[in-house]
Each structure stands twice: as structure tokens, then as C-alpha cells.
Amino acid sequence: MHSLYVYTTPANSTHTSPTLIINKHDPGQDGTVETAGPLSDEEDINDYKQGGYHRVQVGDSFHDGRYVVEAKMGWGYFSTVWLANDTLMKRHVALKIVKSDPHFCKSALEEIELLEQAQTAGNGSHQHVAQLLHHFWHDAGAAGGGGKHVCMVFEVLGESLLSLMKRFNYRGLPVNMVKRITRQVLDGLAFLHDTCGIVHTDIKPENILICIPDVEDYLEKQKRPSQPRRFSSSSTLLLDSPATTPVSDSSGRRLVKRKMKRQQKRTEDPPLGGKQKSTNNLQQIQSTLSSLSLAVPLDSSSSSSSSTTASLPTIIRSSALDCTALMDDTDDPDNQADDEAWHDRITVKIVDLGNACRIDGNFKHVIQTRQYRSPEVIIGMIWNDRADIWSLGCLVFELLTGDYLFDPRADTKYGKDDDHLAKIIELMRVLPRSLIIGGDYSREFFNQKGELRHAKTLRHRRLRDVLHDTYFMPPEQADGISDFLSPMLEVDMTKRASANTLLKHGWLDL
């Protein structure tokens, strides 16, 4: 992805302007985190070459004519993704075509191995983990740019939780919706962790996608003449421009959020603080989800390569699809029961096992997107499946509030990792001795007294107080959320709750 690098001034330099501190062990390209500037709308045309993308046109067929391309869905650093008609199974699928370079093919084959392992362990697909339907090799030939490409066939899913949050203007989702989403993600993680022995390593909003109950009906609605439409030279399917530009980097998100807040009058109640009329809430949800996009798991950037990742598709969507795809028609929109019924129908799936690892691998390498990174990863300890739980705790807070729980910044006196640890200590108050001395980078962050070497003055706040004072949640609600999140954000990973344990927590009850 597009990355912004800021280096400290060399000792012999005459340049004296303040510079940001970069932690020595920070790879600089840790997943999809250190980003600046907008994501490109299209892949680089120069990557259509030997070892690069496969040139695809609408109408092209793959695997002896089984898959016929109908439209482009999106692209990632090492693949493009296409909506295709599976003529054998009579359904639409997402066809992911990986670059032909051996490095990318190897990564794709490793992902396929984990996906197949998950399906074997679960005796088939899991309802909250994206399903790999098929995979095969495709020889592009001279016309396609040369080389052999790994092709992966996925089910077609809706857009990500990041898009959902954005449509709510980053002001938080309805609590019951968050509870349902959280339960489903925990269910998927329990399957990956306990049944498959797999750590996802990159739980974040972009990697949780909303299911479309009936994809074929959805696509049929797009084809109806009454729908607003635009034809693309690269596709014969009815297309619309994306409702919003994907923003996965923190700086871009802050700009968008400030703009949205300026445009929105703050005369209504706080998003989570008080009761809202069911009519308004339901109408907001219907409006918010009226343009859900089709999506597919794209690429995870690896820390070993500079990469551009489009976490959201940019082409297929219907401006006229309303919530009837997710809820039955209701006779009385003022009825709160209708609102709650809609919450009961949202379904999500975990996607993108491109960076997943075996639990028993004794890994120490940097994983997770910055804002969702666990403390044991930051300091260089061996991590396990509990790293996913930490990420989910950060994600749940974000779904409820619209804000990152931890969004560290570098300064002239400390790096992002220093600030990240400081923010964790401010919220959780104390780090265990094992964490202070047990990591490969512990001495970089802590002095002999166990104090942070470079961080700013700490301002301790309880999670409950943050929810109540900053987000105006009623005390009882703030207590409940804090009680649920605290075991997920346990700094000592050996004491952090498992997915199965969290599934039994009372806060998830609707």
C-alpha cells in the first residue's frame, strides 16, 4: 500500500528541523497500517506484465469455460477480483486472480492450504468464516500477459464493517447490532482457534464482511431497467460509482470524520447515550444500508513487501437495494420490535486468511494492523490466538463509538510503539512484569524500573469513564460494555479470555 516514511535526521546532517522517532524494530509496512494519502481507484496498469496481473475482459472464461467473467469487483496488491458466473453450479462467485510471480503464487497457495484445512476441520464451511469454493491454475498465455496464475473462487459477500461505520458517519452503530456482529465474529474465531488451530492475525473492520442473503436476487435487482445505472467500458453489468471512497488509513479517516461532523448538526441525542425513537433509528439503518456493496476478500499485505491493498471493492453496488434484503417488510415502522427484528438479520463473516498462522508456530514477527495490535506483539514476545481477541476488543469499541480505541502517533521524543504502549498503560494502568522484561524489544521501551523510556506524561482513565464521559453512555451501559471488553483487553495474554469464554458473557444477550 502507499506508505509514508519519515526518517530521523543523520548525525552529520545540518538539517535541524524536528523529526519523528521511528522505533528500530518497526518494519514500517506492518500490514495495512502506516499509510498516508488516498488509495488508488485502479491498479497500476504497469503491473499487467510477466509476473504481474492477468489481463481480463468481461466475457472471458476460466477453467474450461466454467467461470464466465461479468464485472470487475476490485483489486489488491497481488490480485484482481471479478464477478463471475459459475455455469456448472448456476451461481455467481468472486474470482480472485493472483499475480503470476512465484512469490505471490506461494502466498496464495499457503492461504488456500489454511482455508482448506479450516473446511476439513469443520466438516465443511463455517457460517461466520468466508468459504473458498474452488481453486485452480490458469495459464494466461501471451494474450493474458504470460505466466501461470493461481485462481481462487469465493462466495460473494457484502461490504465491510468499515463501510458500515462510515455510513453511520463514524458515530457508532446501534448497540444490539454490535452485539450480534460481535457474537458472530467470536463464533468464527472460536472455530478458527479451537477447531482449526489457526490465528487470523489481522482482525479489523475491513476483514469482517456483511452477508447478502440472496446474491442472485440482489444481482437480478441490479439488472432491472428501473435501477439507476451506468455502463462501464470494462463491464456489461449495471454499475454505479461507489458511494464513498475507501479510507483505511487513520489520517484519511480523521479527515473524513471531521468533515462529516462539521456537516452534521449535533442537535440530536448522542449516538449511544440516550433513547432514540425507533422510527428514526430504523430509518437511519435503512438509509445507511441502502447501498451495500458486493465485496470479496482481497489481499493482505505482507510485512516483507511494499504493497497497495484495496480492502473494499469499488465497482459493484446497487443504489436502490434497501433493507428488504435483510429484513421482512414491516407494517409499522414505528414499532421498536421491527427495529430489533432487523438487528436479528444481519450476518457477517471473517475473511482474508492471507496472513493467518498456525497457533503452535511460536511466532514473534510483527502482525496485526497498527490500531488493533496487541502489546505482546509490540514488544516482541511469542504470540498466540489471544492476539485476535485483543484486536476484536479494539474493534468492538470502534463499532460502538466510531473511534479507534488506540491510535498512536509518533513525536520528536517517542515513536508510535512508545505511544501505543503508553496509551495501553493509560487505559489498563499496569503492565505485568513478564511483559516489561520478556520481549525482544523490552529494553527499547522500558528502563530498569519498568517505566517507559520515551513516552509522554500518562493520563490514566478507566475504560468505563471513557465510555461515560467521552461518549455520553449511561453508567449502566458503560459498565456493561467495560465488563465485556476488559477480559479481551487483558494486557497479559495468558489471562486474556478465549473466544469460547467470551461467547458466554452476558453482555452479548439481546
pLDDT digits (tens, 9 = 90+) for 246-273: 344 555 565 555 545 544 433 333 334 3
Instruction: Give the C-alpha separation, 32 to 99, whole Å.
Output: 19
Residue with cell 517505566: 451
**Interatomic CA distance for residues 130 and 96, integer angstroms:** 14
- By the 8 A CB rule, do 330 and 336 touch? no
Please give the pLDDT value at position 269.
37
Residue 22 has what pLDDT? 56
Res 410: pLDDT: 87
Instruction: Identify the active-site residue in 30, 60, 86, 202.
Output: 202
Q: Where are the beta strands (DSSP E) in 211-355?
A: 294-295, 348-350
112 in the same domain as 65: yes
Same domain, 213 and 69: no
Same domain, 460 and 427: yes
**Has residue 464 been placed in a domain?**
yes
Residues 148, 168: one domain?
no
Q: Say if residue 457 is in the same domain as residue 377.
A: yes
CATH of the domain at 145: 3.30.200.20
Q: Long-range contacts of range 176-179, CB-CB < 8 Å, 24 or more positions apart?
A: 176/340, 176/343, 176/510, 177/285, 177/343, 177/346, 178/396, 178/399, 178/400, 179/507, 179/508, 179/509, 179/510
Q: Look up the CATH number of the domain holding residue 374.
A: 1.10.510.10
Question: Are 158 and 292 within 8 A, CB to CB?
Answer: yes
Domain annotation covers residue 168: yes
What is the number of helices (H) and of strands (E) in the chain?
A: 15, 12
Last residue of a domain, one of 128, 155, 182: 155
- The count of structural domains within the chain is 2
User: Do 66 and 133 share a structural domain?
Assistant: yes
Q: Are residues 358 and 504 in the same domain?
A: yes
Residues 213 and 138 in one domain: no
Asked if the structure places residue 315 within a domain, the reply is no
Residue 293 in domain: no
Residue 28 resides in a domain: no
- Tell whether 376 and 493 lie within a shared domain: yes
Q: Flag whether 503 is in a domain.
A: yes
184 and 150 within one domain = no
CA within 13 Å, CB half, 187: 16
User: Global pTM?
Assistant: 0.77
Q: Which three cell numbers stand for residue 359?
A: 497457533
Which structural domain, as residue segments, surrounds residue 164? 157-221+343-509
Out of 137, 155, 173, pick the residue that ends a domain.
155
Q: Which residues of the chain have pLDDT under 50?
A: 1-19, 28-39, 227-248, 259, 262-282, 284-292, 301-334
Question: Last residue of some domain: 135, 155, 175?
Answer: 155
Q: How far is residue 209's CA from residue 294's CA, in Å, rounded to a whole number? A: 9
Pair (349, 490) in one structural domain: yes
Asked about 202 being catalytic, the answer comes back as: yes
Residue tagged 543523520 (cell numbers): 10
Q: What are the residues facing 98 on neighbouring strands?
A: 79
pLDDT at 390 (0 to 100): 99
Q: Which three cell numbers stand for residue 322?
A: 434497501
pLDDT score for 42 = 81
381 and 500 together in one domain = yes
